[in-house]
Amino acid sequence: MKSGRASRPPEPNEPLCCCEYVNRHGERSHLAACCCDCEDLDQACDRWLKREPQKADSLARVAAVVKDRLRVPWFLGAKQVDLSVVPPLILLPVLLQVASLHFLLGVAVLTALPGLVLWYYYVTHRRKGRTLFFLSLALFSLAYMYYVFLTEVLPRGDVGMVQLAVVTTGVMLTLLSLANTKRGPGYVRSHPADAHSTVTYHGKLPERDFVHSNGTCQQVLIASRPSPPGQGGGQGNSVRKNWCPVCGIVRPPRSGHCRICSACIYRLDHHCVWINSCVGQANHRSFLLTLFLFLSTSLYGISLVLRSVCPRQNVLFALFYCPGVYSQYSTALCFTCAWYSSLVTVGLLHLLVLQLINISYNVTEREARLALREKLGTSRLRGLVVDTGTLGGS
């Protein structure tokens, strides 16, 4: 049932407690009142019980209410939880444990899981929307693999303290490098002092005027913003090409606009869904370092797991032939997690190889795609290398 108003306008100088928050209507609310004042939900339920058609925006309004009230206690106010974070936390351990029950279930789950992830990627990529699903999946995968390593592999006695320290150090360094990558790709600001380009753009001189004050004549400049191409201003072809109508700025060479982040990035390479951020001039090195640290830690951890659950098999062939591994649930879970980590490692290794090839050709991923789209480049080595001509050297 619908209760009285459970929220009130926030006081300007009154701090929020850990369970309070300001809702989407600008009112102060509490986590304990999450089920109060639900007019949108009440109207949707009434129409459903009366078998009346729902309004066009009723479901969207209910989803907005649920999204606004799904929060966790935090310092100086409850923090909102993105719904896209939740599915990996539930589906990943459930699917891996189901895959550990039988060999055929493992094949089915490990085949369907990458397909579901790719399908969701293409859905979100087509809509150009931001989601925390992939970042949550990446972080939780790393945390869950480390948890299985501590609870299932370490008690078997086949892993020493030095090996445990190496794996732990690799996980910590990967997280630190990821945090450094998330600091920012290098956003292009509209202020001229923030532009680091060595190219000078020439425009018309500013207008001047004379102002008489206290019997003296002073000359002043009339400030004007750069006009977009096609509206005067004497801009050349390079300015028309580099003008961003969304941000309203002239982009330096090799910069690009990301429609997902809605910002222009210096030397934009691509938008990486796994870190929920763009990869640009400021974080490209740390992004490559994150990939290298993760791959090194993953490969080392997989080798330790396979040596523990398949001691009689060579590490290179243990993934494909390990007799008796499904006789115990513990060894089956470790083996399944090793296969899952191997799939993730192969995908990220492919990404790292592409990045290194692009760097060797002095080209970014965005420039390679533009060259293929505008038919200014050629694809070589079955798409691994894109010769962009002069795009990479501008």
- Residue 39 has phi, psi (to 5 degrees) of -60, -40
The answer to whether 78 and 19 are in contact (CB under 8 A) is yes
47 Cβ neighbours under 8 A, 6+ residues apart:
53, 54, 55, 58
Comparing C-alpha atoms, which of 57, 72, 95 is closest to residue 18?
72
Rounded Cα–Cα distance for residues 133 and 120 (Å) = 9
Between CA 368 and CA 364 the distance in angstroms is: 6
73: its two tokens: 């206690």
Q: Under a CB-based contact definition with an 8 Å cutoff, are residues 62 and 41 in contact?
A: yes
Contact call for residues 246 and 263 (beta carbons, < 8 A):
no
310 noted as active-site residue: no
**Catalytic one of 258, 272, 278, 334:** 272
Q: Containing H/E element for 147?
A: helix 133-148
Catalytic positions are: 272
